Every structure is written in structure tokens, then in C-alpha cells.
Amino acid sequence: MIVAGIQPDAEFVHWWFATGFLVLALLLYAEILVGPEVWARRPWRRYLWPGTLFLMGLLMWPVMTFFTNSMIHMVAHGSWAQALMVAGGAELGLVRGKLHSQWWRLTSFVGLLVSGTALLVHEQNGWTFARAAFLHHAIGWLVIGASVFPLLQAFRPRSVVAASGFATTFAVMAVLLFCDRDVAPVFGHLSTYAGVPHR
Amino acid sequence: MRRALLVAALTALALPASAFAHATLRHETPGFRQELASSPRQIVLRFDEPVYALPHAIKVLLPNGKDVITRDAVALKSARELVVAVPRLAKGAYTVRWEALSADGHVVSGVYTFGVRVRAPLVTDAVGAQGPTRTEDLVRWLYFAGLALAIGGIGFRLLVVRGPLGAAANGRFFRVVGAGIVLVLEAGIAGFLLRGEDALQLPFSRLLYGDLSPLAGGTRYGQAFIVLELAFALVSALIYLAWLLDRDAFLWAAFGIGIVFVAGLSLSGHSAAGPGDSKWSELADWVHLAAAVLWVGGVVQLALVVWPGAPELRRLAFVRFSRLAVVLVSLLVAAGTYLGILRLPRAHDLWTTGYGHDLLVKIGLVCLALAWGAAHHFLAVPRLDREAVAGRLGRTLVGESAVAIAVLLAAAILTDSKPPPQPGPVKAPTAAAVHR
């Protein structure tokens, strides 16, 4: 089958997206550290993190179409692709001045809620059943809990707490995604008691 | 409590059998849709990670639905391989339905087909599959409607309006086109999942973990799904960028990709799969679809964007679109007639077969839409300067749009239906009856 021939292992795809989320977090942290006024002195900087979010959404579509080994994966990845594109698109619209209402910030809130729900629905085992189950629950609840930050930003756009929380969400998500598989670069195969490395 | 949570978390992370993906079937013997010269001795399924064997985990079904595996002989050949011995199989098509307990605790399932001295049927024709349902017809219709709104709408903007719209009309244009492209993407996914559901024949909870890769990688429909979803995701990004940056160049790129990939539907339709079909029939299908999408999309843009949003452009857009519509309708009718003759070579098939009945309904709707368009062209255009005529025309354009969208429903039903068998050539064997 042509699809199987060009398909990378699932963990690589998760690590690529982990890198994307890490870049996103670093951009957000940079903006918080220097302040929005300094950050906006170069207009292109304002497009960086929303553009990254939008691009990650676009890149999620191949993941949805090529990883068809289960229906739930397809639906979940499709929902993430759309959530990322819509949230990134709304933020870009705000930056560009095409959208004016701060309520558009709620797209990030809705995007995180939808993404977290998809992650939790995706996993039917308990937290400690296996590494995958733990990561699904951890990221799912992290994302749902963190949706409060963009919600807060819609009401208080200059809140440092909300901005820091939003950035930290992506940083933690990146770390957790890097944990995928016991050959992972972070928290890989922790113990010899757990048997031989999986792959 | 905190310490317990920490220990539990570390234990979970230390567990080896874990991935973000469930076990995936990597290789199967006999192969997917393989035509064997003689009966296989066993069925071997190799996964990308360890699995556990379940009772009755592999079924090998005859076209009548009978399982040739009479006793539960499925065993683990290795941690990643399931194997079952099969009795001597007679000439014919077979369907393999399998399931395994993945290391992450989920039951993964799948289906594929093979043939012994005959060509294996498509997985969509596996034993138990019922063929396209009315729900699939509806989804296909939404897909066509989305294409018309998005690609037809962009075509109208670039080929008919050929310039900037006012702020109000521009907003309406992007709302209509945006809704169209979202419809294309969502209906594409829904259609693929429905086809997978039909092939897998699993209860909902198990369907969630059903393996769709044989459908995605091994059928024209699946390959078309992959290509079209990726292409239209890109089109959606280009439409968005055109809105964000006010650059028509992005619209041209979106239109170019969109109009080329309208033909993607032909990859999974009768024009590419039926006996006697050729490159010419694929080309005719593309012309038919592209012309239909541009025509319907243009009528909708006139009714929903130009008339209420840009009164100053009404006359110009209407006259230009009328000229373009003559060309589009000519192409539509010519390609449709060619395809009709190809699929229904005997005239009596029109009134004696279900496919013929569907085609007659579609022809009737097309005639109604053409008559409506002709009335606009010959009666309304000369009187466009009168205020009362222009006001009424907006309402009748909405009516014409509704008929045009109804034509797309008939087209969706036809695309999902199978034409009657061609006289002469021997029919390829199928494992499932098609109930239409």
C-alpha cells in the first residue's frame, strides 16, 4: 500500500509537533519577557506565534489523512487540525486588523476545549494503564484546564498571568509529547524492570 | 497522596508497551487484494507492536458469509504476529475480518479481501458491506454543494467580477466561500468514515478503533480521499490568506488547485472503475463536474453576494455570467450526454433500471434550471435597468440557486449508484451484493 510505504513512525510525528509547540511556547515567553510594546516594534514579530499555530494546523491534515489505523485517530487529528487553524487564523486576523473584537480570542479557548475533549475521548483506559494512557489523560486535562487562560485573555488582554499560563501550556504539552514512546528523548525507557525498550 | 500520584505517574511512564497509536497491521499474508494461484495454508497478520490474540480473532468469509475457520485456531506466532491455519480454499473471493487486543488495551479491528484464482473484490465490496446508503448520498451532496460554493464562488469572483468588491460584498463573498470549503472538508471526512463503517461492519464502540488503512491505501476512493482532503485543506489556507492579506493571487492559487482536484471525484467514481471506462471518460467526468461547480457556484454568488451586497455590479456581473454560463452549460450537457451514453448504452436502461430513473430525475432538474437560466438570459437581461425587475431578479436567482443545488443532490445519488452492467464483458467477481 502506498500510504504505508511513506508513513513515518507515529512517535516521530509526535516529536515534530512537540518541537512546534516548544517553538510556540518560546515565542510567547519572549513576548511576555520583553513586553507587548517592545515585541510589536517589529510588526512581523506579532505574526510569529499565530502564524506558527496556523501552520501547525495545516500540517496536521497529512497526519489525519495518512494515519488511518483507527477511526478515532482520524477524527481526533482532524479536530486538532481545525482547532489549530481556527485559533491561529483568528489571532492572525486580530493582529492584521481584519478582526476587531477581543471576543475572537475565545477561539483559542474553544480550540483548547475541543482538543482536550478529543484527547480524553480518544483514550478509554485509566491513567496508569500504560504510558500512552497516562499521556493522553495528562495532555487532555492539561489542555482543558489551560483553556481558562485564553478565556481570561479575552477579558483581560494585558494580564501577564493569563499570557504566562497560555505559554506554559504549550511548553508542558511539548514536554509530554516528547515523552511519547519509551525511546523518547525525554523520560524515555526509565527502568530495566519495565522490560526491553519497545521500539 | 502526592507521593502516590508521583509514583503512579512514573510507573505509567516507565511502562514499555505504550504509544500514542494503537497496534497497526503492517503486513498480511495473503496480501491485501492479492490474487493467489492456489489456496493459502494460513493467514498471518503482522503488527507494528505486540498484540494479544482474542477468540475468533480471524474470520475468513465466503461470499455467502460462512466462515471457513471452523474451530478457534488463532494463535500468536510471535508477540506481533497472529496466525490461523485455513482449510483448502476453492476458487473464489474471500473476506478476512480480524481483531486483536492492542498493547494499550484497545481492540483493533480490520477487514481485507483476497482471491484464489480470481481477482479480489474491493474492500468496500467485502462480505457484509451493504454499499452506499442514503446518508452517504446526503454527505456526497453536501460535498458537491461545498465545492460549488467554494470553487465555483472563487471562479465567479475571478472570471466574472474580475476586480475588487465593496466591503459588504467582500465579507459576504468570503463567508460563502469559507462555508463552502469547510463543508468540503467535513463532508469528505464524513463520507470516508461512513464508507469505512460499511466495510468494517462493527458496533460503534469497536468501530472507533477500526483499521481504515485498507480503505485509505487500497481503494481508489481512499486514495482520492487522501489527495482531496490535503488539496482542499491547502485551498482553505489559501482562501484564508486571500482574506487576511487582500491578495487575489492567493485566490488564483486556490482556484487553480480546486478546479484541478474537482476531478478527484472521478478517481473514485464510475469513470475510473467501471468496465469500458477510459481516460476520455475521466476527462468527461472532470469537465462535467468542473462546469457544474462553476455554474452553480456562479448562480449562488449572484444571488447571495452581488445582488444584496453590490448593487452597482449587478448588471455587469449578470451579463458577464450569462455569457460564461452558455459555455459552461454547453460543456456540461456535452460531457453529460457522452457519459450517459457510456453508462447506459441501451436506451431502455433509462426507464428499466434504478440508475436510469435517477438519471431521468437529474435530467429533469437540469432542464428546469436551464429553462430558468434561459428566462433570466432572454427576458431579464434586456430589462435590468428597471428597478422593479432588478428587485424581483434577486428573488428568482435564489430560486434558480435552489434548483441548481437540487441538481447536485441528483448528481450525488448517481455518483454513489452503480450503472447497469455493460453488455458483453465478463463481470469482475464481488464478494458482496450491491443493494441498489
Q: What is the CATH number of the domain that holds B73?
A: 2.60.40.1220
Determine whether the interchain pair B18/A133 forms a contact, defined as Cβ–Cβ distance below 8 Å: yes
Grid coordinates in use for A72? 478515532
Q: What pLDDT sits at residue B276?
A: 58
Bigger pLDDT: A15 or B17?
Answer: A15
Determine whether the interchain pair B245/A182 forms a contact, defined as Cβ–Cβ distance below 8 Å: no
Full residue range of the structural domain in which residue B352 is found: 134-416
B113 and B175 within one domain: no
Selected residues 113-172 of chain A with any CB under 8 Å from a CB in chain B = 124-125, 127-136, 138
Domain ranges of chain A: 8-187
Determine whether the interchain pair A70/B210 forms a contact, defined as Cβ–Cβ distance below 8 Å: yes
* End-to-end CA, chain A: 22
B138 and B86 within one domain: no
Residue B429, domain member (yes or no): no
Nearest to B226 among A14, A65, A134 (CB): A65
pLDDT at A129 over 80: no
B247 and B215 within one domain: yes
Alpha-carbon distance B183 to B223, whole Å?
Answer: 20
Indicate the range of B146-155, B172-181, B336-345 predicted with least confidence.
Answer: B336-345
Determine whether the interchain pair B49/A66 forms a contact, defined as Cβ–Cβ distance below 8 Å: no
Q: What pLDDT sits at residue B22?
A: 67
pLDDT at B163 over 90: no
B66 and B144 within one domain: no
Tens digits of residue pLDDT in A69-109: 788 888 889 999 999 999 999 999 999 999 998 889 899 99
For B243, name the nearest residue in chain A, comparing CA atoms only: A98
Determine whether the interchain pair B245/A96 forms a contact, defined as Cβ–Cβ distance below 8 Å: yes
DSSP at A104: G
List Cβ neighbours of B219 (8 Å cut-off, separation of 6 or more): B122, B123, B124, B268
Selected residues 50-89 of chain A with any CB under 8 Å from a CB in chain B = 54, 58, 61-62, 64-75, 78, 81-82, 85, 89
Q: Of the candidates B97, B121, B145, which is a domain's last residue? A: B121
For B195, name the nearest residue in chain A, comparing CA atoms only: A71
In chain A, what residues touch B193 (CB-CB under 8 Å)? 71, 74-75
Q: What pLDDT sits at residue A13?
A: 86
Alpha-carbon distance B366 to B208, whole Å?
Answer: 40
Residue B75, domain member (yes or no): yes
Q: What is the pTM of this model?
A: 0.82
Domain count, chain B: 2
Determine whether the interchain pair A180/B20 forms a contact, defined as Cβ–Cβ distance below 8 Å: yes
Q: Of the candidates B73, B96, B121, which is a domain's last residue? A: B121
B202 and B80 within one domain: no
For B202, name the nearest residue in chain A, comparing CA atoms only: A71
Interface test with B, best of A46, A64, A71 (most B CBs within 10 A): A71
pLDDT at A46 over 90: yes
B391 and B287 within one domain: yes
pLDDT class of A59 with cuts at 50, 70, 90: very high
B176 and B95 within one domain: no
Determine whether the interchain pair B215/A4 forms a contact, defined as Cβ–Cβ distance below 8 Å: no
Nearest to B18 among A2, A67, A181 (CB): A181
In chain A, what residues touch B189 (CB-CB under 8 Å)? 64, 74-75, 78
